[in-house]
Structure 1
Amino acid sequence: MVQAWYMDKSTANPRMPHRAHPNRPVGLEQLRTLGVLYWKLDADKHENDPELEKIRKERSYSWMDIITICKDTLPNYEEKIKMFFEEHLRLNEEIRYILEGSGYFDVRDKEDKWIRISMEKGDMITLPAGIYHRFTLDEKNYMKAM
């Protein structure tokens, strides 16, 4: 099951967990109030997963791509990692499904406080249009996502 928490205010290495002290966990219901939705799927069968197909059909997802984020495969790796971690918003919903590896998606709550969502293999989230967010790998420095 996905874990989420309020972040500390440290600007040190973004790939660290950055849990607030004391820890302030965030549950799925609180994420839902922000418009962030979550599913746990079987990433090993992503190419022929009826559950994924059901979600895609219900939510009218017609396009997908796969990105592998690691030093060996992503051109301009360090530059891209910095770009992904810059706070931004999109005009459309953003969908991320983790096929391998792990990382963090950070979203702002309604009071502009950062919530960190730890994602690993099989986790899928949607971020609503208009929510400020950013992404970084964790210390493992590898993720393959759809």
Structure 2
Amino acid sequence: MGIEAWYMDSTDEDPQKPHRLEPNQPVSLDELKKLGVFSVKLNADIYENDPELEQIRKDQGYSYMDIITIRRDTLPDYEAKLKIFYSEHLHLDDEIRYVLDGQAYFDIRDKQDRWIRIWMTKGELITLPAGIYHRFTPDETHFTKAMRLFIGEPVWKAYNRPADEFEIRHKYVASLQGS
């Protein structure tokens, strides 16, 4: 099936709810690509020996990976971490996540600064470009097991909005021109 995306409503209630507009306003994979977001569906049941994942890692230079399980009983300071993940921020490097089990939302901003919610389920790998404002939360199942991939050593630093002074933000915004 692949990821599903839609424009979000503006309510501040529980961030783990879907927050679809009425009527729903879906966002296509092509529209996400224009924002620099790429995704691929893989077989998460064989992630440890998946030749397709190995080829992606080789082609993209993803030399580092780890696995995080986001669930109340496995993630220390669960509530505090969710607040950090859900604060709007950017990174100086691409963010690459592969959902091995469970479900989650990534929210990104479009060119008009509207929120787009991207719902990811098992087997979906996503790349968010460096400089894009985004946030993350598990959905109402409160469970996500994900692989985090990096080029070189992992960089965990997030810069909360506003972070428009970074060169990578300027490059990202410039990449949207004409798309």
Q: Deviations over 1:39-93 (max 9, x none)?
A: 0000011011010011111111111110000010100000001110000000000
SS of 1:95's partner is strand
In structure 2, C-alpha distance between the alignment counterparts of 1:7 and 1:82, rounded to whole Å: 19
**Tell me, which stretches of 5 or more residues in structure 1 are unaligned?**
none
Kindly indicate whether structure 1 or structure 2 has the higher relative contact order, using CA contacts under 8 Å at least 6 residues apart. 1
TM-score (norm 2): 0.81
In structure 2, C-alpha distance between the alignment counterparts of 1:85 and 1:123, rounded to whole Å: 20
Q: Percent of aligned positions with the same letter in both sequences?
A: 62
Matched, 1:40 2:41: yes
- Which contiguous aligned blocks of 4+ residues in structure 1 show a shift greater than 4 angstroms? none
| Corresponding residue for residue 128 of structure 1 | 129
TM-score (norm 1): 0.99
Letter in 2 for 1:78: E
| Corresponding residue for residue 100 of structure 2 | 99
In structure 1, C-alpha distance between the alignment counterparts of 2:93 and 2:22, rounded to whole Å: 34
Q: How does 1:50-61 map to 2 (within 5 A)?
A: 50-61=51-62
| Corresponding residue for residue 71 of structure 2 | 70
In structure 1, C-alpha distance between the alignment counterparts of 2:65 and 2:75, rounded to whole Å: 18
Q: Deviations over 1:70-122 (max 9, x none)?
A: 01010000000111000000000000000000010000011100000000100
* CA RMSD, Structure 1 to Structure 2 (Å): 0.6
Aligned length, in residue pairs:
146
**Tell me, which stretches of 5 or more residues in structure 2 are unaligned?**
148-179
